[in-house]
């Protein structure tokens, strides 16, 4: 039922959703451009080093001969295979370039997470006003009005979520590596299932934080405690809602991206973040027993 109400609210407020999608895209493009500019010298150096190896040279030559119908392409591929170690040695020894590239990617991911999270509190506040009284507020004006709380929430959110998700991902990789020698390909669904359940648990624990902050009009720190206490009343129901929601996303997003040749991710990924915020509000309102609009006419 929570997913049904979330979908209804998502459709009813798609005009606002569109603005958030634009915000996501602009932020992602700016951060991506800056990160690429910083990492470009290291990427260029690494590319040149790898390109000078026999592996890449023979691989390119073999591909060209294959396209021209030259039967000697097999010899080129054989030589490329023999020089594969040279290519891996270059990549392994280029520690300076990898440090710059990975460090830039990590910093960009942290900055991107913070800037995206900056819009979560204003967005949730606007949705809360719609759900409680159908009031309409502008996104930018709400962002300015809640700038202090939004900035603090984004900081805490970035640290908590980044740390928790990194730990969950690392555990998933660890399980996959450890289980692979014993159960083979079955290690992949095992790692996926554990990652799904832990991610859903993380989402459940944090789900009441933002709704409590905007609904009860309290500080960010106090909002976390109020939200956790409220969601705790229906913890398992909220947990299984997030399990279903995350399972649905993990199936729909790749399929949608594949069918649209990757273009659909531009809309699908921001929409997933937005729906996550709506699910949080729906679950919080249900836990508190609050009535709310799920569209322009229907009150839940």
CA 203 to CA 105: how far, in whole Å?
24
Entry pTM: 0.82
Q: What is the DSSP string of 46-73?
A: HHHHHHTSHHHHHHHHHHHHHHHT-TTH
134: left (phi over 0), alpha (psi -120 to 50) or beta: left
Residue 94 belongs to some domain of the structure: yes
Q: What is the pLDDT of residues 104-160, one digit of tens each?
A: 999 999 999 999 899 899 888 888 888 888 777 777 788 888 889 999 999 999 999
Residue 264 predicted with pLDDT over 80: no
**Residue 171 sits in which domain range?**
2-131+148-288
Residue 122 belongs to a domain = yes
Domain-located, residue 257: yes
pLDDT of amino acid 131: 85
**Counted domains in the chain:** 1
Q: What pLDDT is attached to residue 206?
A: 94
pLDDT reported for residue 223: 93
Tokens 């809602």 belong to which residue? 241
Q: What is the pLDDT of residue 143?
A: 81
Interval 249-271 mean pLDDT: 78
Q: Is residue 260 in a domain?
A: yes
For residue 294, being part of any structural domain is answered with: no
For residue 201, is pLDDT > 90? yes
Q: Percent of the chain, pLDDT > 90?
A: 33
Query: CA 265 → CA 106, 181, 253, 255, 270, distances in Å?
Result: 21, 34, 7, 10, 8
Residue 140 within a domain: no
**Which pLDDT value is given to residue 59?**
78
Mean pLDDT of the region 176-204: 84
pLDDT at 220: 92
Residue 265 has pLDDT above 80, yes or no: no
Asked if residue 167 belongs to a domain, the reply is yes
Kindly state whether residue 138 falls inside one of the protein's structural domains: no
Q: Tell me the pLDDT band of 229, cut-offs 50, 70 and 90.
A: very high
Task: Please say if the pLDDT value at position 75 is more than 80.
Answer: no
């Amino acid at each position: 039922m929570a997913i049904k109400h979330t979908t209804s609210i998502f459709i009813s407020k798609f005009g606002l959703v569109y603005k958030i999608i634009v915000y996501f895209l602009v932020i992602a493009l700016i951060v991506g451009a800056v990160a690429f500019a910083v990492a470009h010298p290291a990427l260029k150096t690494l590319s040149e080093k790898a390109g000078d190896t026999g592996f890449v040279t023979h691989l390119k030559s073999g591909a060209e001969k294959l396209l021209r119908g030259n039967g000697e392409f097999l010899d080129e591929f054989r030589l490329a295979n023999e020089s594969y170690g040279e290519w891996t040695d270059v990549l392994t020894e280029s520690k300076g370039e990898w440090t710059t590239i990975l460090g830039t990617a990590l910093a960009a991911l942290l900055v991107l997470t913070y800037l995206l999270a900056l819009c979560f509190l204003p967005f949730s506040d606007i949705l809360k006003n719609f759900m409680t009284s159908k009031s309409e507020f502008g996104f930018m004006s709400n962002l300015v009005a809640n700038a202090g709380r939004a900035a603090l929430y984004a900081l805490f959110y970035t640290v908590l979520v980044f740390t928790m998700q990194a730990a969950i991902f690392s555990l998933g990789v660890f399980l996959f590596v450890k289980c692979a020698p014993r159960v083979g390909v079955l290690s992949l669904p095992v790692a996926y299932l554990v990652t799904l359940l832990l991610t859903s648990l993380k989402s459940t624990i944090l789900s009441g934080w933002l709704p409590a902050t905007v609904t009860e009009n309290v500080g960010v720190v106090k909002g976390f405690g109020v939200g956790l206490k409220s969601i705790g009343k229906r913890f398992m129901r909220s947990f299984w809602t997030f399990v279903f929601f995350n399972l649905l996303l993990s199936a729909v997003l790749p399929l949608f991206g594949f069918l649209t040749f990757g273009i659909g991710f531009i809309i699908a990924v921001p929409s997933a973040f937005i729906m996550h915020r709506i699910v949080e509000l729906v679950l919080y309102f249900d836990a508190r027993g609050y009535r709310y609009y799920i569209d322009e006419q229907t009150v839940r």
